[in-house]
């Protein structure tokens, strides 16, 4: 399977980086072909220019690469912190630019954009790992966990992905080394479980490839 892993955290030594590293390691060990992007390290431009909005617009080589990878992916893994109940701006901009018409979704012929989009992504499974410094009880009772709605309903289901798994690790700021090691074991187990199941169900059209 071809799996796309996207990381959005500015600090190199962050726990998000550790999560992404484990995800990539496990996927490679399981024989999947992995494309990995650290958006901050690559200085991905999150700004969507007006001329890029219409379907069929000319894309920069970097953006076309991202679109092609997401369009071809059998699975997607996203790693980011919870900032104000939202993804970091660089990741939101990545979604704005990459999950574009005719890549992630389209409308029926004759639909001017007022209808319900048709999801185009071929990926069967998406996994999102978040970090947070808000206890889960407060996140759910006060904020209603907006990231769950954003990723599950507003993005992945709209774009055709039905199998969605998300896990938040908290509270990171007061976590111990032992806790973080246990959390990374959960990342390992989640990635293996989600994509081994999908690998059995999907004919990927060739060998598993290498990272």
Mean pLDDT, the chain cut into blocks of 10 residues (211 residues total): 98 97 98 98 97 94 97 98 97 98 92 87 97 86 90 97 97 96 98 81 42 57
- Looking at residue 140, what DSSP letter applies? I
* pLDDT value at residue 201: 55
- Asked whether residue 95 is domain-assigned, the answer is yes
- Asked whether residue 49 is domain-assigned, the answer is yes
Contact 128, 87 (CB under 8 A): no
The count of structural domains within the chain is 1
How is residue 55 written in tokens?
């379907």
- Asked whether residue 210 is domain-assigned, the answer is no
Distance CA 131, CA 170 (A): 6
Pairing of strands 75-81, 125-131: parallel
Residue 77's SS3 state is strand
Rounded to the nearest 5°, which phi and psi values hold at 180? -65, -35
Closest CA to 28 of 203, 180, 192: 192
Closest CA to 98 of 150, 45, 50, 42: 45
Q: Which domain holds residue 40?
A: 2-201
- Asked whether residue 91 is domain-assigned, the answer is yes
Rounded to two decimals, the pTM is 0.91
* pLDDT value at residue 114: 80
Contact 59, 90 (CB under 8 A): no
- Asked whether residue 157 is domain-assigned, the answer is yes
* pLDDT value at residue 52: 96
Contact 27, 211 (CB under 8 A): yes
* pLDDT value at residue 129: 98
- Asked whether residue 209 is domain-assigned, the answer is no
* pLDDT value at residue 31: 96
- Asked whether residue 30 is domain-assigned, the answer is yes
- Asked whether residue 208 is domain-assigned, the answer is no
Q: What is the CATH number of the domain that holds 133?
A: 3.40.50.360
């Amino acid at each position: 399977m071809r799996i796309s892993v996207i990381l959005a955290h500015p600090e190199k030594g962050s726990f998000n980086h550790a999560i992404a590293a484990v995800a990539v390691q496990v996927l490679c060990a399981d024989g999947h072909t992995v494309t990995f992007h650290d958006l901050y390290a690559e200085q991905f431009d999150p700004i969507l220019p007006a001329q890029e909005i219409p379907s069929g617009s000319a894309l920069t080589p970097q953006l076309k690469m991202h679109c092609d990878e997401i369009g071809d992916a059998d699975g997607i893994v996203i790693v980011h912190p919870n900032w104000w109940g939202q993804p970091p701006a660089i990741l939101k901009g990545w979604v704005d630019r990459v999950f574009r018409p005719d890549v992630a979704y389209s409308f029926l012929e004759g639909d001017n954009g007022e209808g319900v989009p048709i999801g185009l992504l071929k990926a069967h499974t998406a996994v999102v790992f978040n970090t947070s410094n808000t206890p889960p009880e407060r996140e759910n009772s006060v904020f209603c966990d907006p990231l769950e709605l954003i990723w599950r309903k507003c993005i992945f289901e709209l774009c055709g992905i039905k199998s969605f798994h998300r896990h938040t690790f908290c509270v990171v700021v007061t976590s111990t080394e032992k806790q973080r090691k246990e959390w990374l074991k959960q990342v390992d187990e989640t990635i293996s479980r989600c994509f081994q199941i999908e690998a059995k169900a999907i004919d990927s059209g060739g060998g598993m490839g290498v990272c």
